[in-house]
Chains A and B, each alone.
Chain A
Amino acid sequence: MKCENQMVLEFPSKSINESFARAAAACFAAQLDPTLDELGDIKTAVSEAVTNAIVHGYPDTIGTITLRCRILAGNVLDIVVRDKGRGIENVEQALQPMFTTGGAERSGMGFTIMESFMNELKVTSRPGRGTTVHMKRKIQKRGGQS
């Protein structure tokens, strides 16, 4: 699919970067003229994916996380969050609601939220090699000024 614009960010897996990553994705998405509701969905999904990379991809080390956002034809925002960390042994299990290997401050609802807030979610992972979360969200075209 034709890519109309894109940005790529790389940052270390420090939890302080969660807010930076979701804000950056929201800023990039702003050119599609999303509603506050759509912007909130994008921020939430990016926050979940980046948090997963930090907590599960690099549990004991600081590694690199890549966030790539693209705008595809048809007002579609395409988001990829990639880490080169530990990977997920059983992706299907990880996608189940309430499943978590994290502590009390984790709910196990991250993938469920990403799934319900995005139009498409694809998770690929190789143990020891890393995890890639690929999401797409169509932004509704609005009337009025363009």
Chain B
Amino acid sequence: MQITSFLQDKQLTIALSGEIDHHGAKATLRMVEEKIDQYMPTLCILDFRAVPFMDSSGIAVVIHTLRRMNELGGRLHLTKVPPQPEKVLRAAGIDRIVKLEGRELSHEM
């Protein structure tokens, strides 16, 4: 998993790249949290376009990030979520607590 981020007007976009499973989830969590603590954004956007696969470890990453943003009084959005990760997020009901924006329509894996 690799992450890249950019900040604009207290809006932090973190682009995740690679598959999210238990093997890499802890490191991903830590990297995302470090970015948030460094920039203290009011809105954090996790960009999923380069995440072709995730299992329930990805849910943990989203919930953990949401909790951190709540502590800071900020919001969390997910953007460009491909079909497989979206299905996992919806199965867990995450779409009811976090806004999913900008559908990623490509079904390529």
A residues engaging B (CB < 8 A)? 15-16, 18-19, 22, 36-37, 39-41, 43-44, 47-48, 51, 54-55, 97, 103-110, 112-113, 116-117
Task: Tell me which of B59, B60, B61, B107 contacts A36 (CB under 8 A).
Answer: B107
Task: Verify A107–B109 contact, CB threshold 8 A.
Answer: no
Per-position binary interface string of chain B over residues 16-60, scored 1 when its CB falls under 8 Å from any chain A CB and 0 otherwise: 000101110110010000000000000000000000010111011
A54 and chain B: residue at smallest CB distance: B22
In the assembled complex, the Cα of A117 lies from the Cα of B84 at a distance in Å of 11
19 extra interchain contacts, Cβ-Cβ under 8 A, other than A48-B56, A105-B64? A15-B22, A22-B53, A36-B83, A43-B53, A44-B55, A44-B84, A48-B55, A51-B22, A97-B92, A103-B26, A105-B57, A106-B57, A106-B60, A107-B57, A109-B91, A113-B88, A116-B91, A117-B87, A117-B91
Question: Which of B23, B63, B109 has its CB near the most chain A CB atoms (within 10 A)?
Answer: B23
In the assembled complex, the Cα of A101 lies from the Cα of B104 at a distance in Å of 33
Q: Which residues of A contact B91 (CB under 8 A)?
A: 109, 112-113, 116-117
Task: Verify A36–B92 contact, CB threshold 8 A.
Answer: no
Q: A107-B92, A112-B91, A116-B91 are in contact. Are A18 and B23 (CB under 8 A)?
A: yes
Q: Which residues of B contact A36 (CB under 8 A)?
A: 83, 107, 109
In the assembled complex, the Cα of A117 lies from the Cα of B61 at a distance in Å of 20
**5 A-B pairs closest in CB distance:** A40-B84, A15-B23, A107-B59, A107-B60, A47-B55
